[in-house]
């Protein structure tokens, strides 16, 4: 008898699912701990929470929940376009920016025919989606300690390549691409590829690049942004693409009619306008990053200097350090699934959360 797996699309059946940061509730259940006593530094969320203005927008929207959301996302797309000096048609909303990745595959790749190019330690979802879509994935070696090598990426493009994924800052490495290198890369792209520039952590950058120039100039580029990070709305699943009107039309064709929900649209618009909340988050992140990196230096731990709201640090045995910290109610991200089994990634928490983490880390490290 055939099993359901025999009938399944082999791309799906063989997929190793994405391993997200462990939820607080799971750890509480497994270890019999109070959820309130657990801190999560595993998914690069905003530790000070969502913007109060976003919460107010959600409360104001609640009585309308019996209606479908605006499938075209008029108010939010207009608001985003206004912030960036673009037109509504340059903006595509996604159920998290993860959905934008999926829409790009839907719109630009065909199974068995096309390939994508990305970096060896790029955000895992690019490769995962390639597998799911039956598309080849070339991962290019990095240089100088976890830095993406844009020249090597350009050199790896073949006639079959349709999408190129570059994240700046990248997750899990936290490294950014220098502005001039990114400019040169965008100018050098061959005609037959679409570049996806993942800017999930863009708002944490000092001296951010003017990647919008490429959109204004009509290049084949998709800039991905999200409300999950600096705006603290990860739970609502809302992100967006900034792109040319031609590409946005193609991405729009691939999405479900109501891919983003009403609460997310309202909250995101309010959060976008709450620059005070973003500023506060960036200041806390900058201070926390400096503190973590200085502490790792004092401890003689190798780490990757970060430009985002997390730091990748070498601990010897990530699986065991993850477990020991978890037993103390601290959830970090083991990098075993990223094929970096000696490293953990720590999101920058509040000062009090970092106090706890730094107090417990030495006891969790392997004894020499
Ligand atoms: C580099 C990068 N891109 C995209 C995402 C997806 O974020 P979301 O789907 O929450 O917008 C993440 C999430 O961690 C990320 O780190």
Residues 131-178: pLDDT tens digits? 999 999 999 999 988 999 999 999 999 999 999 999 999 999 999 999
Q: What is the pLDDT averaged over residues 276-285?
A: 98
260 lines ligand 1 (CB under 6 A): no
Residues 283 and 138 in one domain: no
**Mean pLDDT in the chain?**
96
Q: What is the CATH number of the domain that holds 94?
A: 3.40.640.10
Tell me, rounded to whole angstroms, the distance of Cα 55 from its chain centroid.
Answer: 23
Looking at residue 300, what is its pLDDT?
96
Residues 284, 259: Cα–Cα separation, whole Å: 32
Burial of 272 (0-12, 13-18, 19+ CB in 10 A): buried
Query: Could you tell me if 129 and 198 are in contact, meaning their C-beta atoms sit under 8 angstroms apart?
Result: no
What is the per-residue pLDDT across 24-69, written as a single tens digit (0 to 9) for each?
Answer: 999 999 988 889 989 999 999 999 999 999 999 999 999 999 999 9
Q: How many domains does the chain have?
A: 2
16: Cβ contacts below 8 Å, ≥ 6 apart: 128
Q: Range with the lowest mean pLDDT among 9-13, 208-212, 263-267, 300-304? A: 9-13
236 lines ligand 1 (CB under 6 A): no
Residues 169 and 20 in one domain: no
The rounded Å distance from CA 137 to ligand 1 centre is 19
Residues 32 and 123 in one domain: no
- What does each C-alpha distance from 194 to 124, 160, 171 come to in angstroms? 19, 12, 21
Place of tokens 């004092």: 298
Does the pLDDT of residue 269 top 80, yes or no? yes
Residues 155 and 119 in one domain: yes
Residues 166 and 270 in one domain: yes
Residues 130 and 93 in one domain: yes
Residues 250, 272: Cα–Cα separation, whole Å: 25
What is the per-residue pLDDT across 225-238, written as a single tens digit (0 to 9) for each?
Answer: 999 999 999 999 99
Looking at residue 367, what is its pLDDT?
84
Residues 72 and 197 in one domain: yes
Which DSSP state fits 211?
T
Residues 122 and 41 in one domain: no
Residues 353, 329: Cα–Cα separation, whole Å: 11
199 lines ligand 1 (CB under 6 A): no
238 lines ligand 1 (CB under 6 A): no
Residues 87 and 125 in one domain: yes
Shortest-distance Cα residue to atom 2 of ligand 1: 200
Looking at residue 113, what is its pLDDT?
97
| DSSP H or E run through 166 | strand 161-167
Shortest-distance Cα residue to atom 3 of ligand 1: 200
Q: What is the CATH number of the domain that holds 36?
A: 3.90.1150.10
Residues 96 and 245 in one domain: yes
Whether a cis peptide bond, with omega within 30° of 0, leads into 169 is yes
Does the pLDDT of residue 6 top 90, yes or no? yes
Q: Which of 243, 274, 305 is the last residue of a domain?
A: 274
Looking at residue 316, what is its pLDDT?
95
Place of tokens 């392997």: 366
Does the pLDDT of residue 87 top 80, yes or no? yes
Residues 159 and 266 in one domain: yes
**Which residue range is the domain that position 280 belongs to?**
4-49+276-364
What is the per-residue pLDDT across 327-364, written as a single tens digit (0 to 9) for each?
Answer: 999 999 999 999 999 999 999 999 999 999 999 999 99
Residues 100, 280: Cα–Cα separation, whole Å: 28
Residues 274, 280: Cα–Cα separation, whole Å: 10
Question: Which own/partner pairs from 128-131 qualify as long-range (CB within 8 Å, at least 24 positions apart)?
Answer: 128/15, 128/16, 128/18, 129/101, 129/102, 129/105, 130/105, 131/11, 131/14, 131/15
Looking at residue 43, what is its pLDDT?
96
Query: Could you tell me if 362 and 325 are in contact, meaning their C-beta atoms sit under 8 angstroms apart?
Result: no
The rounded Å distance from CA 253 to ligand 1 centre is 22
Q: Which of 231, 253, 274 is the last residue of a domain?
A: 274
Residues 186 and 210 in one domain: yes
Q: Which of 274, 296, 318 is the last residue of a domain?
A: 274
Which DSSP state fits 147?
B
Please, what is the end-to-end C-alpha distance for the chain in angstroms? 54
């Amino acid at each position: 008898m055939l099993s359901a797996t025999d009938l399944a699309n082999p791309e799906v059946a063989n997929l190793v699912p994405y391993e997200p940061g462990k939820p607080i509730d799971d750890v509480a259940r497994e270890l019999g701990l109070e959820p309130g006593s657990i801190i999560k530094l595993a998914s690069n969320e905003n530790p000070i929470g969502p913007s109060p203005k976003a919460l107010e927008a959600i409360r104001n929207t609640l009585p309308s929940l019996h209606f479908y959301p605006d499938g075209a996302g008029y108010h939010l797309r207009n608001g985003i376009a206004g912030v960036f000096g673009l037109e509504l048609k340059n903006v595509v909303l996604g159920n998290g920016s993860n959905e934008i990745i999926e829409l790009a595959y839907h719109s630009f790749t065909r199974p068995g025919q096309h390939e994508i190019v990305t970096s060896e330690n790029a955000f895992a979802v690019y490769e995962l989606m390639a597998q799911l879509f039956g598309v080849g994935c070339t991962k290019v070696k990095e240089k100088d300690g976890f830095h993406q090598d844009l020249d090597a990426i350009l050199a790896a493009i073949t006639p079959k390549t349709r999408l190129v994924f570059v994240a700046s800052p990248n997750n899990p490495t936290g490294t950014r691409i220098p502005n001039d290198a990114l400019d040169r890369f965008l100018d050098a792209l061959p005609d037959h590829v679409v570049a996806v520039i993942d800017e999930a952590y863009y708002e944490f950058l000092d001296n951010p690049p003017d990647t919008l120039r490429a959109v204004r100039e009509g290049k084949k580029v998709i800039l991905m942004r999200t409300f999950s990070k600096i705006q603290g709305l990860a739970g609502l699943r809302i992100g967006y693409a900034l792109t040319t009107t031609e590409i946005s039309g193609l991405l729009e064709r691939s999405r479900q009619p109501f891919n983003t929900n009403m609460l997310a649209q309202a909250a995101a618009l309010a959060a976008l306008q709450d620059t005070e909340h973003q500023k506060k988050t960036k200041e806390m992140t900058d201070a926390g990053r400096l503190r973590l990196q200085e502490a790792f230096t004092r401890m003689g731990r190798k780490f990757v200097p970060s430009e985002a709201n997390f730091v990748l640090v070498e601990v010897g045995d990530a699986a065991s350090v993850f477990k020991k910290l978890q037993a103390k109610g601290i959830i970090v991200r083991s990098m075993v699934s990223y094929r970096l089994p000696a490293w953990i990634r720590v999101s920058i928490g509040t000062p009090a959360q970092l106090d706890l983490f730094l107090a417990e880390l030495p006891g969790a490290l392997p004894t020499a």
